[in-house]
């Protein structure tokens, strides 16, 4: 297949590009490098630096490249930022997706995979969380993803769009060549590893009075290579099934303290922690039920132990102490 990867210079998109190329597909990455890194884009991919708001540039890309499908990663991605700057999310994220969809459909490409999020499930009634859980977005970020999911639904009914919404839980880990390098960094594992690598003195844990075994939040971590593979399986499956939604996680929860303990074991560093108050809006436990993706896509996560996730991230950060 010929695939356009928006946001393919970012953390997850660059690994999806790596895995697509490894499986023999042809890839063009479209990214404005707002958060991503040119160095993260595999050399066998075509790279176009551009913003999703630039319809002319998108048109040129679709006309030149003539893709069979699109993986849509490019987005503003931070829950906290979305509370402070809702228009970046309810505005830019949604408008950019609409631009992309219009240009795609005008050029005869009708398959797309969306990076959606567990932030759709702010008040889950059942754990683990399946695709039938009620949707309660936890922030303008989550809401923007849900609005895009609904736009997909209507474009399926009116314009023949074929789509899959993949709602990821916590993407984590690294491949040999590609890892997590953001500024500012807000994700647990890279922040913990920054302490182990001497870049930060200690790690702050928000809340240790949750109703969980050790009082800290429990989260579901999924390795980015497994996540990337689910995208490729979903894109292939769209030729048979025109609309799909999957929750993607490990199916197992690990507490913040368990992650830190694993990082201590792997790095040999004591990783001091301090406890602070809960962060508003953080649910105690979030675990995905990914049995639908396993059954319907034949998806088999390969790196599902906490050790393999934290170890792969550590190896990448140790080899790239200053990022890309």
Ligand X SMILES: NC(=O)c1ccc[n+]([C@@H]2O[C@H](COP(=O)([O-])OP(=O)(O)OC[C@H]3O[C@@H](n4cnc5c(N)ncnc54)[C@H](O)[C@@H]3O)[C@@H](O)[C@H]2O)c1
Q: Which residues bind ligand X (CB under 6 A)?
A: 7, 9-13, 31-36, 51-52, 73-75, 77, 96, 115, 117, 168, 170-171, 182
Work out how close the CB of 181 gets to ligand X at its nearest, in angstroms, rounded to a whole number.
Answer: 8
- Regarding beta strands 46-49 and 162-168, do their DSSP bridges make them parallel or antiparallel, or are they unpaired? unpaired
Catalytic residue check, 141 = yes
Residue 47's nearest CA partner among 57, 56, 55 is 57
Catalytic residue among 11, 30, 89, 141: 141
Q: Which is nearer to ligand X, 2 or 182 (CB)?
A: 182
Nearest to 33 by CA among 19, 47, 54, 44: 47
Please state the closest distance from residue 75 (CB atom) to ligand X, in A: 3
CA atoms of 135 and 120, how far apart (whole Å): 5
Q: Which is nearer to ligand X, 54 or 269 (CB)?
A: 54
Burial of 8 (0-12, 13-18, 19+ CB in 10 A): buried
In this complex, which beta carbon is closest to ligand X, that of residue 183 or of residue 274?
183
Tokens for 143? 């809401």
Distances (CA, A) of 91 to 95, 96, 202: 6, 8, 36
To the nearest whole angstrom, how small is the minimum distance from the Cβ of residue 166 to ligand X? Answer: 8
User: For residues 109 and 117, which CB has a smaller minimum distance to ligand X in the complex?
Assistant: 117
Q: Computed from CA positions of residues 97, 99, 102, 106, in that sequence, does the dihedral angle turn out positive or negative?
A: negative
* Closest distance to ligand X from the beta carbon of 191 (Å): 13
Closer by beta carbon to ligand X, 82 or else 109: 82
DSSP per residue over 116-155, as a string?
EEGGGBSS-SSSSB-TTSPPB--SHHHHHHHHHHHHHHHH
Q: Are 71 and 235 in contact (CB under 8 A)?
A: yes
Instruction: At 46, give phi and psi (nearest 5°).
Output: -75, 135
- Catalytically active residues are 141
């Amino acid at each position: 297949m010929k695939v356009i990867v928006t946001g393919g210079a970012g953390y997850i998109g660059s690994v999806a590009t790596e895995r697509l190329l490894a499986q023999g597909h042809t890839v063009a990455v479209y990214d404005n490098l707002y958060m991503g890194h040119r160095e993260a884009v595999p050399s066998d991919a075509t790279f176009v630096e551009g913003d999703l708001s630039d319809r002319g540039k998108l048109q040129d890309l679709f006309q030149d490249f003539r893709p069979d499908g699109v993986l849509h990663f490019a987005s503003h991605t931070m829950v906290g930022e979305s509370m402070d700057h809702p228009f970046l999310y309810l505005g830019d994220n949604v408008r950019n997706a609409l631009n992309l969809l219009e240009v795609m459909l005008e050029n005869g490409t009708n398959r797309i995979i969306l990076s959606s999020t567990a932030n759709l499930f702010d008040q889950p009634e059942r754990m683990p969380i399946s695709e039938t859980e009620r949707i309660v977005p936890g922030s303008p970020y989550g809401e923007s993803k849900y609005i895009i999911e609904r736009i997909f639904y209507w474009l399926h009914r009116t314009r023949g769009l074929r789509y899959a919404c993949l709602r990821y839980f916590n993407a984590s880990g690294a491949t040999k060549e590609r890892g997590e390098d953001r500024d500012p960094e807000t994700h647990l594992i890279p922040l913990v590893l920054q302490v182990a690598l001497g870049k930060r003195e200690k790690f702050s844990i928000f809340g240790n009075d949750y109703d969980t075994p050790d009082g800290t939040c429990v989260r579901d971590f999924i390795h980015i290579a497994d996540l990337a593979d689910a995208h490729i399986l979903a894109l292939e499956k769209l030729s048979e099934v025109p609309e799909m939604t999957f929750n993607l996680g490990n199916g197992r929860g690990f507490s913040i303290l368990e992650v830190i303990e694993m990082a201590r074991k792997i790095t040999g560093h004591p990783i001091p922690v301090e406890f602070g108050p809960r962060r508003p809006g953080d649910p105690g436990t979030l675990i995905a039920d990914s049995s639908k993706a396993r059954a319907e896509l034949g998806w088999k996560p390969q790196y599902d132990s906490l050790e393999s996730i934290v170890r792969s991230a550590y190896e990448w950060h140790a080899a790239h102490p200053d990022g890309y």
